[in-house]
Amino acid sequence: MLSSTAENLFWMARYMERSENTARLLTGLYHMSLLPARRGAQAGLWEGLFQSEAERNAYLAKYDAFKTDPVLTYMVLDRENPSSIRSCVWSARENVRATRHVLTTDMWETINSTWLDIAKTTYADMQDMGHHEFLEWIKVRSHLFRGVAHGTMRRGEAFEFWRMGVFIERAENTIRLLAARAHTFKPTGPISREDTATLDYYQWGTLLRSVNAYKAYREIYKSQIDPRRVVELLTLNEEIPRSVMACVEEICQVLEGLRPRSRCFEQSRDLLNRLQSARIERVYRTGMARFLEDYRAGLHDLSLQIQKDFLMIQ
């Protein structure tokens, strides 16, 4: 397979997965913004969406405050924001178009119809439909595309590069979600203060629902929501499809099948070993924020190494 084709497949998967992850994140934040909170908390909630100074500055160049309507407009429909859902779907479609010779007609028709619908959507349309309903529609279109890929693609190198893009993007997103709340983790003492316990419950519950893990949490822990258990579930539990462990295991399987002696396969095995040997109590003692940042950097390095090994990028 040509490296350019592999690259298009890899990024096609990442952009489509990113659009769904953004929809999931915005859904959670939107519901949290509706909860009663102290003055100024809502602005802090939306500002937390922008984790780097560059992202915040790009947003503030267009809007003067972090409020629901402008943030949703910027993150869903802004054509100049490369991270918006609209931009991600457009980028995914462009990558599908460039690789139509190795993909099925159903995949092209699915992504093309999604793009045509979102390209003509305005913020007024989104309000008419309902914010929650519109973001759910994005998720459904991503599910449909993934289902069509699974149901129609031949199991070969093209399919494996698509899988690899999905799971790298998904693992990075789960870490990003947890890192956004890393400042609230406490190595010892009570989990929540009495005056913030209710808000913590709803916020961590919303985070679990945003990755479809709320029901699994209840089944496994059978207790009230504990931030430490949430982190354990979403990083170290291999049974949760969006946990970091589950995603890294999938990446290892793909790389072992494609090129078991490559540098990127060694890196993926190292990342998996680090997770398998980790214990949540030890992670808390050494610092959750540092653990998440180190692991996010490891995934980023793995993504770069994959591009060097397979996509001819130096």
Please state the separation of Cα 107 from the chain's center in Å.
21
pLDDT band at 196 (very low <50, low <70, confident <90, very high): low
Q: Which of 20-34, 65-79, 101-115 has the lowest mean pLDDT?
A: 20-34
Q: How far is CA 231 from CA 23, 103, 289, in A?
A: 21, 37, 11
Q: Quote the CA–CA distance of 66 and 227 in Å, as a whole number.
A: 26
Three-class secondary structure assignment of 96-147: HHHCHHHCCHHHHHHHHHHHHHHHCCCHHHHHHHCHHHHHHHHHHHHHHHHH
Do residues 86 and 77 make contact, with C-beta atoms less than 8 angstroms apart? yes
Q: Is the pLDDT of residue 99 over 70?
A: yes
Q: Is the pLDDT of residue 189 over 50?
A: no
Comparison of pLDDT for 80 and 200, the residue scoring more: 80
pLDDT band at 311 (very low <50, low <70, confident <90, very high): confident
Structure token pair of residue 268: 């993926």
Closest by CA to 100, choosing from 88, 110, 115, is 110
Q: Is the pLDDT of residue 192 over 70?
A: no
pTM of the model: 0.89
Q: Which of 39-43, 113-117, 166-170 has the lowest mean pLDDT?
A: 39-43
Task: Find the angle CA(121)-CA(122)-CA(125) to the nearest 5 degrees.
Answer: 85
Q: Is the pLDDT of residue 23 over 70?
A: yes
Comparison of pLDDT for 247 and 287, the residue scoring more: 247
